[in-house]
Chains A and B, each alone.
Chain A
Amino acid sequence: MRDPFEALREDVVPVEPDPGFAARLRERLERAVLDPTRDWRSENMTTATRLRQGDIGFASLWVPDADRAAAFYREVLGWRYAPDGQDLRIEEVTPGLAIRGGEEHRGLFLGYVVDDVTRAAERVRRAGGRAGEPAREPYGLAVRCEDRQGLPFAVYEPAAEARAAAEPRPGEVCYLTIDLVDAAEAREFYGAVLGWEFVPGSVPDGWAVRTGGAEVRPMTGLWGGRERSVAVPMYSVADIGAAVARVRELGGTGTDPQGRPYGIEARCLDDQGTPFYLGQLGG
C-alpha cells in the first residue's frame, strides 16, 4: 500500500538568504580560513582588541517606535534582533547595539567604558553633569548620566570579554559624530570625565577624539555649533548607492553619496527622523 508519509518528501530548494547575513558569514569564513589558530566559533570577538577607558562599548538607538525602527534598519542594514528586556538587541554587531522605543530623543545613547564607575560618576558630577546610581546591566555595571548640554549617556565597567571590532563589517557602527551646541564646553566635560583628548578635525569646530594616545573606538568626532546635541552613528555598508535608495524607498531621506578621504558617505534620516550616516569605507 502507498505510504501517505511519502507525500512529505521535500527536495532541497535553494533560497537566497539575506544579503547582509551572507556577507557577514562569508567574512567570518574568510577569517576562519586565513587564521586557523584561533577559535572563530566564539563569535566575532576574536577579531577584536580590548576596550580601554573612553572607548564606546555599546550603544542604544533611541527612537519613538522600536518595531518601526527594527523593520527599517533590517531592510537597510540587514540587522537581526533578539528581545532583551525592554530593548531589541541587534545580533552579531560590535560594538553592541540595541534599539529602545518610547524615546523622543531620536539619537544614539552611548555607553563609555571606564575603569571604575563610582569614580567616573563623581567626575561627571564635579564637571557639572548629572549621574545616577550604579546598576547591574547585561553589559556591565553602569551609571546613567547627562552631560552639561543635556545629552544622555552611560559610563560602565564592562562585564568580561568587552572588545572593540578591528574592522567594522556591514551593518556595524564604523564612525560616530557627536553633534554639539557647544564643542568647547563638551571638550572640557568629556576630557575631565573620560580622559579624552582632541585633535582638530577636517571641518570647522570638528575634533577627532583620542584616548590614551590613540583613536577612541569606534572612531569618534565632536562637531560644535550644531542645532542640538545628539550622537549620530555612521553604519558601514557594502553598497552605498543601493543603501541610500533603500532608505528613500522606506520613507527616510538621504543625501546623494559623496566622496571623502576615508570613503563614500551619505547623511540620512530614518522614517522617524533619527539621524545617521551611511559609509562605504576604504576599498
Chain B
Amino acid sequence: MGVEPDPGHALLDLYEEALPQVYGYLLARCRRRALAEDLTAETFLAAVEAVRRAPPPRLTVAWLVGVARNKLVDHWRRAEREERGLRLVGSSWHDGFEDPWDERLDALLAREVLAALGPHHQAVLTLRYLDGLPVPEIAECLGRTVHATEALLVRARRSFRSAYDERKEDPDA
C-alpha cells in the first residue's frame, strides 16, 4: 500500500509513440540528423527529471514537443554565444520599421535562407512561423520581454527578407 506509481514508467510507456513526433519536430527545424538525435536524447532525459517534480506535468506528446522546443532554443542560445565573437552584429537600421512585403515564399529556398541566419533569428522565426506560437509564448521560451521579442522578430524578418531577395536574384550565391 501507499506505493505511488513511478511517473517515469508512464514516460517509458509513451516513448514509442512520442519518439517519432519529437524527433520529427526537431529534425525539420534543425535539419541535421546528429543534432536532432542529440536534442531528442536531451529532451527525453530532461523529461525523466521533470515528471518527478511536484506537481508533475501532464504527460502528453504535446508536452514532450514543448520540452523539445526548449532544447532547440537552448541549442540556438549556445550557438549564438559561440558565434557572437565572430560575427559583426552591427546593423545601422533602426528597430521597428518594416516595408510591406508581398511575396509568395518558395518553401525550399525559404528553409535554406532560414538555416543560414544567425541562431537568434532562426530561433525567433522558427517559433513564430514554423511553430505558430504567439509572441508572449515566444518571449517566455526565449527568456525575453514581449517588447524585446517583438523587436527581435522585426530584425529577424528583415534579415530573412534581405537574404531571401538576394538568394532569389542570384540563386548560386
Contact = CB atoms under 8 A, between A and B. Distances in A.
Interface of A: 1-2, 4-10, 12-18, 21-22, 25-26, 28-30, 32-34, 36, 40-41, 80, 91
Contacts of B105: 4-5, 7-8
Nearest to A24: B41
Among B24, B102, B160, the most chain A Cβ lie within 10 Å of the Cβ of B24
B8 A1 contact: no
Nearest to B128: A5
B53 to A, nearest CB: 12
Interface of B: 6, 8-9, 11-12, 15, 19-21, 23-25, 27-29, 33-34, 36-37, 40-41, 44-45, 48, 52, 65, 100-105, 107, 110-111, 114, 125, 128-132, 157, 160
Chain B's interface: helix, strand, loop or mixed, by majority? helix
A16 B27 CA distance: 10
A17 B19 CA distance: 8
Given A4-B103, A15-B28, A17-B37, 20 more contacts: A1-B102, A4-B105, A5-B125, A5-B157, A6-B129, A7-B104, A8-B130, A9-B132, A14-B24, A18-B33, A25-B19, A25-B40, A25-B41, A32-B8, A33-B6, A33-B9, A34-B8, A36-B52, A40-B45, A91-B34
A14 B21 contact: yes
Contacts of A80: 34, 37
Among A12, A21, A32, the most chain B Cβ lie within 10 Å of the Cβ of A12
Contacts of B132: 9
Nearest to A30: B12
Contacts of A32: 8, 45, 48
Among B6, B45, B107, the most chain A Cβ lie within 10 Å of the Cβ of B45
Contacts of A34: 8
